[in-house]
Amino acid sequence: MNTELAKNVNWVGYVDWPVRDFHGYQTKRGSSYNAYLVQGNDKVALIDTVKAPYVDFLLDNVRALRPLDQVDIIVCNHAEPDHSGALPAVVKACPNAVVVCNAKCKDALSRHYDTADWRFQIVKEGETLDLGGRTLQFFDTVMCHWPESMVTYLVEEEILFSMDCFGQHYATYRRFDDEADMNEVMQEAKTYYANIVLPYAQPVANAAKKLSTLKLRIVAPSHGVIWRSHFDQIFKAYLDWHVSKPTPKVIVFYSTMWQSTRHMAEAIVQGANESDVCVKLFDLKAVGDTELITELMDCAAFAVGTPTLNQSLMPRVAAALTYIRGLKPAGKKALAFGSYGWASKGAQEAETYLKAFGCELLVPAITCRFAPDAETLDKCREAGRLLAQAALAVK
Ligand code: FEO
């Protein structure tokens, strides 16, 4: 595996092929925890670590390049345990190393681990550290993805260690974008943005603006492939995703008990499909929240269907809407629908979520008692046409 970003600058992380869950995000193509070793003439710096169980892989990768007692600096850009979990063991294994991070990160690390014996060097925005012919420069990137998040720039090589920004949960033994399948890489970059970055879209955009003055030859995130050939593609995608830029796409998702809500969903799809827009239908039994939010992020309009269950909505619909609410996709048009038996509550409750998302409601919730009659199905088809019109308007 080619791990060299530049002479004496190497990837030393861990590729996690089997991981399928990242705090609720279904990582169907695994992930990687990227750490990097930068060897200057005078000092050696390890940039970040890996998840705790994989510390031995990281240490072996470092040892293959330099003895561990020659590591002088361990940069911690971000305290989240996928990058800092191995830090306690790494600090022990590298007896001469000082942990370099910002003040907020030091505080976060001390709340996760026993840091009483650690030697820290606190760095501030723009500060530099000379490794001998190699200079590290640090920039705070607040809320990209936690309050203490920071990135590290290797000045002479024009390499930005961008932490979570521009990452992908994607396992591959090809370390660089131009060595990997770009269709898969971009799909996973989009899924990562929708499931991790979306609620912090504005801070990430602010950070990107601040860092855009740097000369960049390589952008090395903490997950997935390293960008050295397709900057334009990922930067442009981040601009679009930042505003959840709507495309001419309609999403209909639903849960059903006795098929009534499913028949309503299918009638909505029929109406939408009369126009030349992309229409996708998801039964929540068959789609996870990770895929759903990725589809929703760039749709123009969507409909959510739920029967009434015990005077509320279906638990699977509530789970999906709760997940979506946290990620805050912006600027969508939407509607709710669903059947009920004797009290119409589910679709109305779903509508409350849509309002909380800031969606513009195209019509009041469409409901039917027990099973949809011809008139209800006509209403559903008409609602589908409205969704399609909203989608066509963004063309
Ligand atoms: Fe990959 Fe926010 O940690």
Q: For 158-202, what is each residue's pLDDT tens digit?
A: 999 999 999 999 999 999 999 999 999 999 999 999 999 998 989
Cα(33) to centroid of ligand 1, in Å? 9
* Predicted confidence pLDDT, tens digits, the chain (395 residues): 889 999 999 999 999 999 999 999 999 999 999 999 999 999 999 999 999 999 999 999 999 999 999 999 999 999 999 999 999 999 999 999 999 999 999 999 999 999 999 999 999 999 999 999 999 999 999 999 899 999 999 999 999 999 999 999 999 999 999 999 999 999 999 999 999 999 898 998 888 888 888 999 999 999 999 999 998 899 889 988 888 789 999 999 999 999 999 999 999 999 999 999 999 999 999 999 999 999 999 999 999 999 999 999 999 999 999 999 998 888 899 999 999 999 999 999 999 999 998 999 999 999 999 999 999 999 999 999 999 999 999 98
User: What is the whole-number distance in angstroms between the Cα of residue 222 and the centre of ligand 1?
Assistant: 8
Cα of 83 vs centre of ligand 1, distance in Å, is 7
Known catalytic residues? 23, 78, 80, 82, 145, 164, 192, 223
Ligand 1 close to Cβ of residue 83 (< 6 A): yes
Residues in the chain: 395
Core vs surface per residue 94-119: b (16+ CB within 10 A) or e: beebbbbbbebbbebbeeebebeebe
Query: Cβ(78) to ligand 1 under 6 A?
Result: yes
Q: Relative to the CA of 146, which ligand 1 atom is closest? A: 2
Ligand 1, atom 3, lies closest to the CA of: 80
Any ligand 1 atom below 6 A from CB of 148: no
Atom of ligand 1 nearest to the CA of 222: 1
Ligand 1 geometric centre to CA of 77 (Å): 10
16 CB less than 6 Å from ligand 1?
A: no
> H or E stretch including 346?
helix 346-357
Domains, the chain, with CATH or none: 4-242 (3.60.15.10), 247-392 (3.40.50.360)
What pLDDT, on a 0 to 100 scale, did the predictor assign at position 239?
A: 87
pTM: 0.94
Ligand 1: residue whose CA is nearest its atom 1: 164
